[in-house]
Chains A and B, each alone.
Chain A
Amino acid sequence: MSDTNTVLANDGTSLKRSLAKSLRRQKIRALMLIAPLLFFVLLTFIAPIGDMLFRSVENNIVSDTLPRTVKVLSTWDSRTGTAPDEEVFEALAVDLKIAVKSKLHTKLGSRLNYEKTGISSLIRQTGRKVKKLDLEETPSFKAAFEKMNKKWMDPAIWQTIQQFSSKYTDGYFLAAADLTRTADGIQNVDEDKKIYFKLFLRTLYMSLGITFMCILLGYPIAFLLATLPMRTSNVLMILVLLPFWTSLLVRTSAWKVLLQNQGVVNDFLVWIGIIADGSRLELINNVTGTVIAMTHILLPFMILPLYSVMKTIPPTYMRAAKSMGANDFMAFRRVYFPQSIPGIGAGSILVFILAIGYYITPEIVGGTKGVFISNRIAYHISSSLNWGLGAALGAILLVVVLALYWLYDKFVGIDNVKLG
């Protein structure tokens, strides 16, 4: 580009450059405006989630607590079928003595107990005895440890320590996928311990079912809300919003009272003679209970986006269709329904994503067959304290949701989603 073609601004600089400059200034100003929110989201949302997800691979504790042992153990061949040599035991004695002082050994025991049952008490017991061990005066550490607990001679214990001695582990993710690493490589866990794959699958298809139920029940209500005269629709709107404002626990417990064996629904059915007293329906503590209670709880999330989309569909379109010879059904199917699809899309995404992470309602009304993967995540976070496994399960759930979102975008298109 030659200089002659450059358009100059008033102050003699190139117009292009000054334009870019002012645009940049605008961008910075915009960024400054959102900076507090961005900072807030980063600090309170992205960072904790990142930290939690990182726990699914983090495994510093073994190499931090037993640095010397891990180093000398790396040359031990687990396939020999015998416990390692004297120098490993000597390193273990030194490491444990230090660990006991800062009370780190029991933490290590809890961590390794997730992988091999019994290590927790083995390390706790040994920790108590190793205090009395004199490092200078011990002729054979191997014999000393054998005396403390025979389990130290079991190569399986050492194999576990060796296997989980690196700073990062795929152990949690393997466990979350019902897999385990053995001497012969990665294998399925025993049939009697398989659970997570089943739960993921159940979470997905039950969430889909609940979403579908919400569409089925929510669509006519949203249609009524959008088409009835203002006075009536306002009353109806209150009825939709009222449960929305009621505590989740209250609503879930109310379902318990309604659905249980001696509950209101069963009593009524027996009273009007539809079912016999001896064959009351099992409506709760199973899949049915979870689907009913969760459909009710998530229904507003379907109705509200549907309503706001339907509100924008001009009634004249339907009249026009009918004036051109369509019957009611045809006019609805060909004219009204296609225009309400963005509302279905938005409602479905909301309901599905909320459902997939639901935890308290399935816990209360789900019994054993109606619980979700989130119940197991909650168990590992608050009860078993296996945060690594909880994080791995959470990470998988996150990836599954993102993958489904991508699929949705590919086939339906996220542009087709409208909240109003």
Chain B
Amino acid sequence: MKTKTIMLGGAAFAMSATAALAEDMTIVSWGGAYTASQQAAYHDPYSAMTGVNIINDASSGEAVAKLRAMSEAGNITWDVVDVVAADALRLCDEGLALEIDPDTQLADAPDGTKAKDDFGDLMVNECFIPQIVYSTTFGYRKDLVGSTAPTSVCSVFDTAAYPGKRSLEKRPINNMEWALMCDGVAKADVYDVLATDEGQARAFAKLDTIKGDVIWWSAGADTPQLLADGEVIMGSTYNGRLFALIEEQGQNVGMLWDGQVFDLDGWIIPAGLSDERKARALDYVYFATDTQRLADQAKYISYGPARKSSAPLVSKHATLGIDMAPHMPTDPDNAKNTLLYNYSFWADYRDDIDAKFQAWLAK
């Protein structure tokens, strides 16, 4: 595979001299700072090496629906797609994503550890190639929460100590878990409780206590904006967004790591590509998910690399020069009380609980 990469690269490089022959590859991701970090860590070096021209498409938010439509129309225009693990699970279920053999199609760690062991539990299904660990957690306005800064995720439900608006994502996932945890359910039992009608009612009852104080968001950029405007005193969003708000924009916002929910983001390759495009997509993914590349991405955005072997290689931020390790959700100081997104639970209960959640919202 390695020699093939080099040969391919050499051939492509020779051809790119006659620019008309340059190959195009469409990579779908989330856009914004996230795509920028991938551009710097993966796309640019890969293009320089192989001469493949990478086209970015910021459609990851509706990747599952669009891939299904493309597959029904028989014309798949995407080569590699960045999705969250839950979507990868659905794409795999629908037969829309290619199954990957980690031992032959992904790079080993520098010390020879097989990719499968290097990624460990994060390879949640046969199609998903993990890239980063991110978390959904809370940020709070230091000047609006009073003299005692919140230290527990349950502060979100404590309107007496922290009066004011808070922003939560307009979906049941994560909110239901936090509600139960703050209603006294042990972390280990959360999903068992949530699987029952009574447990769901209990979570809604807990959410009811703050319903009037919640602004519901649907885009990751909403909470940082609401915090910056002083519309909310605390709110949930992805940790990388909060990092950008605090470190890059210097807003007066604090990070509440307690109760953060880990989730994964990574690549899938659409099923049904031509052999030539499939080979190229696999070649790209092989390169972009090796140990060094994953560590490189952390220079541009504060998401943790998915490989164990990448963690020691995480260095300083490319422009700010600050150490990135303490800003990783996986850093031991930040990860004292965490929850991992339960993929199989939500695959089953998503539709049912979402119907109830929407009805509850409209009440």
Within 8 A of A (CB), among B208-229: 215-216, 218, 229
Question: What's the Cα separation between A260 and B359 when bound, in Å?
Answer: 25
B216 close to A385 (CB less than 8 A): no
CB of B361, distance to nearest CB on chain A (Å): 4
Q: B151 in the interface, Cβ–Cβ < 8 Å?
A: no
A124 close to B93 (CB less than 8 A): yes
CB of A309, distance to nearest CB on chain B (Å): 39
Chain A residue with Cβ nearest B204:
A192
Count residues of A near B (Cβ-Cβ below 8 Å).
37
Within 8 A of B (CB), among A103-118: 103-104, 106-107, 109-110, 113-114, 117-118
A114 close to B351 (CB less than 8 A): yes
Residues on B with beta carbons closer than 8 Å to the beta carbon of A199 = 362
B92 close to A106 (CB less than 8 A): yes
Residues on B with beta carbons closer than 8 Å to the beta carbon of A119 = 348
Known interface pairs A193-B359, A376-B358, A381-B65; A107-B93 also in contact (CB < 8 Å): yes
Q: A82 in the interface, Cβ–Cβ < 8 Å?
A: no
Chain B residue with Cβ nearest A193:
B355
Question: What's the Cα separation between A51 and B356 when bound, in Å?
Answer: 29
Question: What's the Cα separation between A160 and B284 when bound, in Å?
Answer: 43
Most A Cβ at <10 Å: residue of B65, B68, B344: B65
Residues on A with beta carbons closer than 8 Å to the beta carbon of B347 = 113, 120-121, 124
B95 close to A113 (CB less than 8 A): no
Residues on B with beta carbons closer than 8 Å to the beta carbon of A124 = 93, 347
Query: Contact partner of B354 among A118, A121, A369, A384, CB < 8 A?
Result: A384
B352 close to A117 (CB less than 8 A): yes
Question: What's the Cα separation between A194 and B92 when bound, in Å?
Answer: 31
Known interface pairs A376-B358, A384-B350; A120-B93 also in contact (CB < 8 Å): yes
Per-residue contact bits, chain B 119-160, to A (CB 8 Å; 1 contact, 0 not):
000000000000000000000000000000000000000000
Question: What's the Cα separation between A119 and B349 when bound, in Å?
Answer: 10
Interface residues on B, range: 20 to 34
Q: How many A-B residue pairs have CB under 8 A?
A: 81
Residues on B with beta carbons closer than 8 Å to the beta carbon of A368 = 170, 216, 361-362
A367 close to B216 (CB less than 8 A): yes
Per-residue contact bits, chain A 337-379, to B (CB 8 Å; 1 contact, 0 not):
0000000000000000000000000010001110000001000
A386 close to B95 (CB less than 8 A): no
Q: A383 in the interface, Cβ–Cβ < 8 Å?
A: yes
Residues on A with beta carbons closer than 8 Å to the beta carbon of B64 = 385
Q: A195 in the interface, Cβ–Cβ < 8 Å?
A: yes
Residues on B with beta carbons closer than 8 Å to the beta carbon of A198 = 362
Residues on A with beta carbons closer than 8 Å to the beta carbon of B201 = 192
Give 17 CB contacts A-B under 8 Å. A106-B95, A114-B351, A117-B348, A121-B348, A192-B201, A193-B355, A193-B359, A195-B358, A195-B359, A261-B231, A262-B230, A363-B218, A367-B215, A368-B216, A384-B354, A385-B65, A385-B90
Listed in ascending order, the chain A residues whose CB lies under 8 Å from chain B are 102-104, 106-107, 109-110, 113-114, 117-121, 124, 192-195, 198-199, 260-263, 285, 363, 367-369, 376, 381-386
Additional A-B contact list (14), CB under 8 Å, known A194-B359, A368-B361? A104-B95, A106-B94, A110-B94, A117-B348, A117-B351, A121-B348, A192-B359, A193-B359, A195-B358, A261-B231, A285-B215, A363-B218, A384-B351, A386-B351
